[in-house]
Amino acid sequence: MKEYLKHDEWCIIEEGFNPELHKSSESIFSIGNGKMGHRAMFEETYTGATLQGSYVAGIYYPDKTRVGWWKNGYPEYFAKVINSTNWIGIDVQIDGRYLDLNTCKTKNFKRTLNMREGYILREFTALLDDGKKLSVTAKRFVSMADTENGAIRYSVTPLNFSGKIAFTPYLDGDVKNEDSNYDETFWDILEMEAHAGEAYLVSETNKIGFRTGFGMQFSLSIDGNPVNVMPEVMKKEKWIGNRVEREIKEGECFTIDKIAGVTSSLNYDKADILKATKAVTAAGFKKGFDSLLKAHVQKWTEKWVHSDIRIKGDIAAQQGIRFNIFHMHQTYTGEDERLNVGPKGFTGEKYGGSTYWDTEAYCIPFFISTAPSDVTRNLLIYRYKQLGKAIENAAKLGFTDGAALYPMVTMNGEECHNEWEITFEEIHRNGAIAFAIHNYIRHTNDEAYLAEYGLEVLMGISRFWSQRITFSTERQQYVMLGVTGPNEYENNINNNWYTNKMAKWCLKYTMEALDKVKAMDEAKYNAILVKTKFDTEKELPRWADIVEKMYFPYNKELDVFMQQDGFMDKEQIMADDLDPAQRPINQYWSWDRILRSCFIKQADTLQGIYVFEEEFDMETIKRNFDFYEPRTVHESSLSPCVHSILAAKLGKVEKAYEMYLRTSRLDIDDYNHEAHEGLHITSMAGTWMSVVEGFGGKRVHNGQLYLNPTIPEQWQEYAFRITFMGNDLEVCVSDSKIEVISHAQNTIELNVFDKLISVAPNKSEVVSLN
């Protein structure tokens, strides 16, 4: 752990500059608005270690797969979220010498991520080697309101001298990715244009031909009063900017406001990119820094109203949950159904593609309760529109007749993950995509979605399961061989309990969905059967037989579900018995040693118990939790939240709190020593789940909302808001009472500790715990 950030309810604060922590801070202080974002690099020159990252949503590069042994069905490329033009750069010179925090000393360095209002603020005093002292303040944001604009206000004040200060705002298209497989450059510069006070750069990706446009305009002021300085227009290869220099007196504050405009061929015709970039840059510049910031802050205020979780009495816990919610919102806004929730968001390059099963398993529970229903619907439609590619993916592996295998990693529906044990074996991802449809409908009652989109996806997935599952004559049951479950510290195993469970559920739910659509709209039902060439007499009997005869590994002596066949053949060592110096084991052990161990990377069997919790009594849940939790090393960011939720249900509140802190502060405190690579965005939704589904006990069964809250002893009270069936509710929990406040237009019924209560619009109901 690296606990160098100050605890604060609404801000992430770094006091004092440590170059060794800078790349981690670049990740943690990243900002975005769903369309674009960037790491928290410095505006001025920095010659120290840094991971430059400026990203545009939906823009990627198909980096040719690099493997030692090619296998049939292997993806041809690994999609890379690519570093794009750096628009934040402002070189600063003091009497001709560059300001560089790698070569000068600093005092009172403070970097702040204001999560309430969505901006980065950096303040410090620079001590140059010639004795000059200057105060620097830099504030920047990417607008949530004007989503193609970003803005920077950069101020320099000489403290013990008068002299010439120069600003060089620029656009730099000479960028690369550190993780490029063949050290390729991904961009060609098509156009560069600069005039006094403005500059524009249009570039295009190799191979696919995405185009982006970046523009900038700037203004200058001294002590808040506008000044005009004739700039020098500058051009280099792949770089364009202006340079302005002014004599500044001791104590005067010299400020540059730099406004950027960013466009892409996702939203404009390629031929119009330069024109569009000029237009959005000019529009942002006309509004100015202060007006852009005001509108941006208002958007954040609206988001926090519906998604904030308030925790009283525990600043670390409060900071953690807001940090996670903040990054969820700035990664995905739900306004564009072509986009999804990237596992690193706008914070780093790792993990390549934009979409994993994390979206359905973790992010949808967050958005379904905190955002308008069309946000989640768009995430589901994203998968529907890629159904054809999922069928192609399955066909590459030998499946037929419309079977669909959704990719583990994708940008456009094609599989682009280049590890065989993931690409070919971690097929449980199909189940998460199917379950998300069910989860959406049970929260919204939007059953029309089945006929419009959902049923075809379910049928394709169920066809895959039907072909992937085989009948064992020895067991006289159906089995699933050669898979990897959520626990990726096991490969090529037989009968992963979770995967088998998801497959059985999918087949059963799809059969129910077929009946439901037939009853709702028989004409649509028949049209789907024709479109998919579905033979009910041939396919449905096999599905029903699999549902009835699916095999699940089970240990009778322990009375627990077995993660897979042969799990008890492993040496049973508990995670607490590991040498702390060898943690995380994936950074110290060979892969062979990991595979032979019993250690579990993330919730696997417990993931299934979490998903299908209503099927199991408390004793069954407890036995399985008590067996698997001590063997879990939580070396996936997706793991702690599931354990936290189940621990809270079981009354193990201290364990739930421990796991909550781990998931909420995973990146802030860098539990797994990898924050420098980027943040774990999709698992951040799990932090929200830990509070609302864990401590809040929120569940939905048979169209009814249930709350069974508990509260950690470290908290005085906590509160959250959720949307259910279009009704907006606020839940406040203390150790003495639970208050449910309705912000809805209709009276809503819900169950609190299995007691049915009714809450009228704009009223509240209190359930006493005494």
User: Which residues are part of the catalytic machinery?
Assistant: 488
Torsion angle of the four alpha carbons 505, 509, 511, 517, in this order, in degrees rounded to the nearest 10: -170
For 707, the token pair is 């709350």
C-alpha to C-alpha distance for 367 and 387, rounded to whole angstroms: 22
C-alpha to C-alpha distance for 101 and 45, rounded to whole angstroms: 8
C-alpha to C-alpha distance for 89 and 87, rounded to whole angstroms: 6
C-alpha to C-alpha distance for 222 and 288, rounded to whole angstroms: 16
Three-point CA angle 206, 208, 210, nearest 5°: 85
For 311, the token pair is 């925790």
C-alpha to C-alpha distance for 470 and 477, rounded to whole angstroms: 9
Query: In which element (H, E) is residue 719 found?
Result: strand 717-724
What single-letter amino acid sits at 117? E
Find, among 57, 68, 65, 84, the residue nearest to 180 by Cα: 65
CA distance readout (Å), 519 to 338, 450, 458, 515, 537: 31, 12, 17, 6, 18
Strands (DSSP E) along 480-606, which ranges? 554-555, 560-561
Q: Cα 177 vs. chain centroid, distance in angstroms?
A: 20
> Dihedral sign, CA of 562, 563, 567, 570?
negative
Query: In which element (H, E) is residue 421 found?
Result: helix 420-423
Which residues are CB-contacts of 32 (< 8 A; sequence separation ≥ 6)?
A: 38, 55, 142, 330, 331, 345, 346
Which backbone phi and psi does 739 adopt, to 5 degrees?
A: -115, 130
Find, among 149, 139, 120, the residue nearest to 347 by Cα: 120
